[in-house]
Each structure stands twice: as structure tokens, then as C-alpha cells.
Amino acid sequence: MAFTTAVHTEIEAHLPALQRFAKRLVGPNGDIEDLVQDTILRALNSSSQFRAGTALKSWLFTIMRNAFYTAYNRRKREHVGMDDEFNLRMVMEPPQEWVVLYADLGLAMQHLPEASRRSLLMVASGASYDETALACGCEVGTVKSRVNRARKALSERFSIA
């Protein structure tokens, strides 16, 4: 079904509801307008899939939810290594504090189990989970678990939420 001017008007009428739903998904500080815009673009590009008699608002909400989860999963996959907050704090600290933090990190790493430390260092150095699993002689899930526990332990030690 091609979208007519009437459907465009109906979409505009649903914008406040879409913005509220986007705010629930991304939070008050998220990219609400980007998610709404992405939803509208996806709806217009997928107009042939819209079935007459279907609630337009429900269809738009489904598109928005799927767009949000797609973007969320993409960001989650791209995020490998240490937390962004930790990286920002490291960059913003003066050089003297950086040296102290680096030394503290070295000591904290020594308290980690050998397998966790090795997995964390390999992944943080850019190795994939598959490569790390092969090098460590274990399953990918084991590597992910080790890296996660090591990151958690370091975060707790440095009081990073």
C-alpha cells in the first residue's frame, strides 16, 4: 500500500506518541529524535509491507522497537575492550596521575587469575574472541566469561560503575 497524504497526516499525528515511546527506549538523554526519524524513514521505505486495516500506530511502534534493538545490538557488538568511561578518564588525567594509574592497573592485573588476565589482555589488544579462544584452548563462551569477570574485578578495584 502506497502511503497517501492522509497516511502522512496520520503519521504526523502519532509523532508525540512515537517521541514518548522513543524516550522510554533510549532514556531522557538518548537520541530520541534520531530514533523517531529512523522509524519514519523505515516506515516510508517499508510502506509496501503495511497492511490495510492494521493499526498504523502499532506498526510504527514495532518498527521503532526493532530499530532500537538493531542499533543497540550493533553498539553492543562494536564495544570490545575497556569501558568508554574508563578510557575517557584515562585520557583526561594529568600525565603524573596517568603513570600512577598505569602502575595500579598493572598491580590489579596481577591479582586476576592467569586465564582471565591472558584473555583480557588478548581481547584488549585487538584479538577477536575466536582468536583468543583458540590461543587459550577453550570455548569462545569461556573467553567472554573470563573477560567479563576480569573487567568487573578491575572496575570494582578502581571504583568504576
What is the residue extent of each domain of the chain? 5-78, 84-157
pLDDT for res 148? 94
Q: Between 5-26 and 56-78, two packed helices, what is the crossing angle to 10 degrees?
A: 40
Query: In this structure, what C-alpha cell is assigned to residue 51?
Result: 497492511
Does the pLDDT value for residue 97 go beyond 90?
no
Q: Is pLDDT at 1 greater than 80 in this prediction?
A: no
CATH of domain 5-78: 1.10.1740.10
Confidence category of residue 101, pLDDT binned at 50, 70, 90 = confident
Confidence check: pLDDT of 107 > 80: yes
List C-alpha distances in Å: 86 to 41, 105, 117, 154: 35, 12, 18, 10
How far, in Å, CA of 23 to CA of 146, rounded?
34
Question: What is the secondary structure of 79-135 as a DSSP string?
Answer: --SS-HHHHHHHHHS-HHHHHHHHHHHHHHHHTS-HHHHHHHHHHHTT--HHHHHHH
User: Nearest 5°: CA angle at 85, between 33 and 69?
Assistant: 40
CATH class of this structure's domain 84-157: mainly alpha
Q: Tell me: the pLDDT tens digits for 2-17?
A: 556 767 788 888 889 8
pLDDT at 69: 82
% of residues, the chain, pLDDT over 90 = 15
Question: Which distant-in-sequence residues (6+ apart) come within 8 Å of 117 by Cβ?
Answer: 109, 110, 150
**Residue 49 clears pLDDT 90, i.e. is over it:** no
Amino acid 84: pLDDT = 57
